Amino acid sequence: MDSNNSSLLLSSSSVLLHHQKHQLDSSFWEKQIKVPKQFIWPKGDLVEVQEELNEPLVDLEGFFKGDEMGTQQAARRIREACLKHGFFQVINHGVDSRVLSAAYDQTAKFFKLPPTLKSRVKKIPEATSGYASSHTDRFSSKLPWKETLSIDFHENSQEPVVVNYFKSNLGEDFEQTGNEVLISGNNGTSGNQPGRLTLGTGPHRDPTSLTILYQDEVGGLDVFTNNKWMSVRPRPGALVINIGETFTALSNGIYKSCLHRAVVNTDKERISLAFFVNPRDDKVVIPPSDLLGNQGTRMYPDFTWSDLLRFTQFHYRADSDTLKNFTKWFLSSKSLNP
Ligand SMILES: C=C1C[C@]23C[C@H]1CC[C@H]2[C@]1(C)CCC[C@@](C)(C(=O)O)[C@H]1[C@@H]3C(=O)O
Ligand SMILES: O=C(O)CCC(=O)C(=O)O
Ligand SMILES: [Fe+2]
């Protein structure tokens, strides 16, 4: 796939706890036990995880060394995972561990900034980049217990996009932050009540093509498969990879994008860094003809990543049925404006 349109999402539900405007800091929780109702999720979405997902661990060392056997084994494991639930973890992925920890540290540093400084990079409604606290500007219920920082990133851009983003919005002091934040992060939180009633990120399938996620040791990423919620164990140095719905469409429904969520930890804050890989805006998502089956049936219409992104940002909150509802919306908007 020609995929050079990506975005970075940094989020931290815990820092929300410490820095949110409506005094949602630790002293607030000591005095109050009530979580604002907009943050409370339905019981069905909060069902606790029982088991760990035994997702494949893919070692990319052989691939990078040009070793045929190692490459084939990795490819087999990836295919198996994508046919089943679309989640796997990679080790020896080539991303230097020092780069990952520097990105993590800078992310943590960003979320610890005072709200006034963070709001200098606040996401405006039409934009896909910027800082957002619980998406309060977009939604009024089932709010995620997190704050996020998203940065658009185009591989073919001549500019150091991330560095410029930090430098121009937060000043020269943040040039280093931009240098080190190569992938981005999401986060969980602390506090008994919020931990039991809220979610860092609600159940959804990623609308994107591919998500590369670095989660810290706190954990909290759960996947819904085999009819139950299963946790994805944080493995030191590993990256979690998952298929998004754009990839499902590209594979004509063969590769699955699985429902997942990030739960809030009752005593520890959590940071995760997600790098979303997407097709270029002008590329139509069309599966290769050998994936169409005997009848040549297409499962999804021709669409571009920007169509699907627009749908999730302005018409629909990504959940378990985004691709199905996008397809309906897209076809009916096309028949109205052919
Ligand atoms: C294109 C995207 C929209 C979201 C960020 C990326 C990939 C996943 C989406 C999201 C995380 C799914 C759950 C709801 C959401 C609003 C969130 O909790 O952040 C989603 C992101 C978004 O719409 O900004
Ligand atoms: O924080 C996590 O581990 C997952 C977040 C997520 O699913 C997303 O950003 O799409
Ligand atoms: Fe996700």
Would the pLDDT of 198 be above 70?
yes
Would the pLDDT of 190 be above 50?
no
Residues with CB under 6 A from ligand 1: 9, 135, 144, 148, 201-202, 204, 206-208, 276, 309, 312, 317-318
Block residue for tokens 């594979």? 251
Centre of ligand 3 to C-alpha 212, Å, is: 10
Beta carbons within 8 Å of 75's beta carbon, 6+ residues apart? none
> What is the distance between the alpha carbons of residues 308 and 181, in angstroms, rounded to a whole number?
26
For the stretch 67-84, pLDDT in tens is 999 999 999 999 999 999
Among 41, 25, 36, 11, smallest CA distance to 133 is for 11
Ligand nearest to the CA of 199: 1
Q: Residue 154 in 3-state DSSP?
A: strand
Predicted TM-score of the model (pTM): 0.88
Q: Other C-beta atoms within 10 Å of 22: how many?
A: 9
Percent share of the chain, pLDDT over 70: 81
Cross-strand bridge partners of residue 243: 210
For the stretch 122-142, pLDDT in tens is 988 888 888 999 999 899 999
Beta carbons within 8 Å of 45's beta carbon, 6+ residues apart? 142, 199, 202, 203, 261
* Amino acid letter, 307: D
Would the pLDDT of 255 be above 60?
yes
Would the pLDDT of 5 be above 80?
no
Centre of ligand 2 to C-alpha 244, Å, is: 12
For the stretch 290-301, pLDDT in tens is 999 888 899 999
> What is the distance between the alpha carbons of residues 305 and 154, in angstroms, rounded to a whole number?
13
For the stretch 205-251, pLDDT in tens is 999 999 999 999 999 999 999 999 999 999 999 999 999 999 999 99
> What is the distance between the alpha carbons of residues 134 and 202, in angstroms, rounded to a whole number?
11
Residues with CB under 6 A from ligand 2: 9, 186, 201, 206, 211, 213, 215, 221, 260, 262, 272, 274
Centre of ligand 3 to C-alpha 95, Å, is: 21
Would the pLDDT of 2 be above 50?
no
Instruction: Please state the length of the chain.
Output: 338
Catalytic amino acids?
A: 270
Cα R_g (the chain), whole angstroms: 20
| Average pLDDT score over residue span 27-34 | 54
Greater pLDDT, 32 or 40:
40
CB-based contact 249:299 (threshold 8 Å): yes
Kindly provide the ipTM of the predicted complex, given to two decimals.
0.99
Greater pLDDT, 33 or 114:
114
